[in-house]
Amino acid sequence: MHDKTVRRRRALLGLLVVLSLLLLTAYFGESGGGRLHGVQRDFLTAISPIQDGANKALKPVRDAIDWFGETLHAKGQRDAAVRAEDKLRREKVEDQQEKRELHQLLALYKLNRLNVGDYHPVAATVIDKSPNIWYSTVTIDAGSPQGVRVNDPVVNGEGLIGRVVAVEADGAQVDLITDSSMGVSARIGTSNATGLVYPKVGDPNDLLLQYLPANTPASKGELVVTSGTVATSHESLYPPGILIGEVTSVNEEGGYESVNVRPAANLHNLDVVEVLTSHSGSRPAQLSALSASLPAGQSPPTQTAGGEQLASVGSTGEG
């Protein structure tokens, strides 16, 4: 009985294998129009309605599986898009930074060609800004090795920034023109009358050009530049013609006239500046030495006391 079962099983296997090989050989040996190919085509024709029906019936299943696959694919695409967006945003920020620096360097280059011939400009990057809202001091990465000295003027492409007040080997501190200790000899662009530019107390975005002679012609929008002259003991440390700002309003105060000046340089957004250094013995160096010899404490006087201080300093100088 067992042998019979084994023989039947083996015979069945042999039959199926032989049948498969016969089909294989016959199918492989005949042309495309042969009998087996014809049977195959007929079978396909016969079952095609079933296949169509099955396809339609199974379409929801296929769609559901596709939905999962496409959802996963979409998630992958979304993650890739987020990564690309982050990369583009970083590149945009870098581009904007480079563009701003380039703009400032170009402006400095143009400035150098105009009116700072006696100086040796040293480009520096602002590495630290005063954290308070007045932004009255900044630290730059150029120091004594680059020839930077105390009282050297600091400019950028937009105009006057301030002056160096402390120098170290690896950097220097710069007081901005809005700092309370600053005073800059200046004149209105179309006039020869000079005055002193001080920060306006309580408003870091505004300057005050004081002690202009009465009836000095001044109108809104006129430019205010450094005078570069030694009119009083308040000798300007700065080369002439450096833009400080533009007139926003004119005030008459007794025998003097004062004008409000909006700084030309955006002091809240400083990246690259230029220190106007000078060799010892040159005219700028002499002016700097003279300035350093002046009495300390040139803090901006109040509206009423400023004239007195100036008069006092002036009388000392004259005496």
Partner 1 sequence: MGGSPANPQTALLLRVAAFAAALVFFQIGVVSEVPVFGVNADLSPLLVAFVGLLCGSSIGAVTGFAVGLLVDLTLLQTLGLTSLILTMIGYWAGRLRELRDPQGALAPLVIGTGAAAVSLVGYSLMEFMLGVDAPVSFELLRQIVLGTVVDAIAALPMWLLVRRVLAGSLPEDPRRRRGRRAYTTGGLSPLSKA
Closest approach of partner 1 to the CB of residue 68, in Å: 9
- The single residue among 65, 88, 93, 102 that binds partner 1, judged by CB under 8 A, is 65
Q: Which two tokens stand for residue 69?
A: 């696959």
- The single residue among 1, 31, 50, 293 that binds partner 1, judged by CB under 8 A, is 50
Region binding partner 1 by CB under 8 A among candidate stretches 12-20, 122-130, 171-179, 220-228: 12-20
Give the C-alpha distances (Å, rounded to integers) separating 53 from 39, 56, 60.
22, 5, 13
Region binding partner 1 by CB under 8 A among candidate stretches 43-51, 135-143, 159-167, 306-314: 43-51
Instruction: Evaluate whether 151 touches 170 at the Cβ level (below 8 Å).
Output: no
Using CB under 8 A as the binding criterion, the count of chain residues that bind partner 1 stands at 33
Q: Does 9 bind partner 1 (CB under 8 A)?
A: yes
Cβ proximity to partner 1, 25 vs 229, nearer residue = 25
Cβ proximity to partner 1, 17 vs 166, nearer residue = 17
- The single residue among 1, 2, 4, 28 that binds partner 1, judged by CB under 8 A, is 28
- The single residue among 1, 2, 4, 22 that binds partner 1, judged by CB under 8 A, is 22
Closest approach of partner 1 to the CB of residue 87, in Å: 27
Cβ proximity to partner 1, 19 vs 93, nearer residue = 19
Closest approach of partner 1 to the CB of residue 66, in Å: 7
Burial 70-103 (b: 16+ CB within 10 A, else e): eeeeeeeeeeeeeeeeeeeeeeeeeeeeeeeeee
Q: Does 302 bind partner 1 (CB under 8 A)?
A: no
- The single residue among 7, 12, 89, 91 that binds partner 1, judged by CB under 8 A, is 12
Encoded one letter per residue, x for contact with partner 1 by CB under 8 A and - for no contact, window 66-105 reads x--x------------------------------------
First-to-last C-alpha distance (Å) of the chain: 143
Q: Interface with partner 1 by CB under 8 A: which residues?
A: 8-9, 12-13, 16-17, 19-28, 36, 39-41, 43-44, 47, 50-51, 54-55, 58, 61-62, 65-66, 69
